Amino acid sequence: MEGLEMLLKLNFEIHGKVQGVFFRKYTLAQAKKLHLVGWVKNTSHGTVVGVAEGHKHQITDFKKWLRNTGSPKSRIDKADFKESQVTHKSFKDFDIHK
């Protein structure tokens, strides 16, 4: 049934102490663990943004991790999410963008 499950695209922006604390590295590891594709990067205004694509249960777990866990030294003040349904994945892997 895995193939019939809804595919979602998640746009996220994480606010707080999320730069200089290996947030992107941990996000990459978590995304790969959940078999998500997409990317993550730092912004010039101190947040971390990204896109993740995967099945609904994977996206739900990822959102929970982004909102509550992050990297060991991070402090997450706010997590903004925007979800949309997609018919196919736009990425082959999950990467860190510079």
Catalytic status, residue 75:
no
∠ Cα 83 40 22 (to 5°): 130
Catalytic site residue from 42, 67, 68, 75: 42
**Structural domains of the chain ordered from first start:** 11-87 (3.30.70.100)
Catalytic status, residue 11:
no
With beta carbons less than 8 A apart as the criterion, state whether 26 and 65 touch.
no
Per-residue tens of pLDDT for the chain, all 98 residues: 445 678 999 999 999 999 999 999 999 999 999 999 999 999 999 999 999 999 999 999 999 999 999 999 999 999 999 999 999 999 999 999 98
Catalytic site residue from 11, 24, 68, 75: 24
Residues with Cβ within 8 Å of 34's Cβ and at least 6 positions away in sequence, in order, are 54, 58, 61, 62
The sign of the dihedral angle between the CA atoms of 20, 38, 47, 66 is negative
Q: Which two tokens stand for residue 75?
A: 């402090």
With beta carbons less than 8 A apart as the criterion, state whether 66 and 18 touch.
no
One-letter amino acid for residue 94 of the chain: F
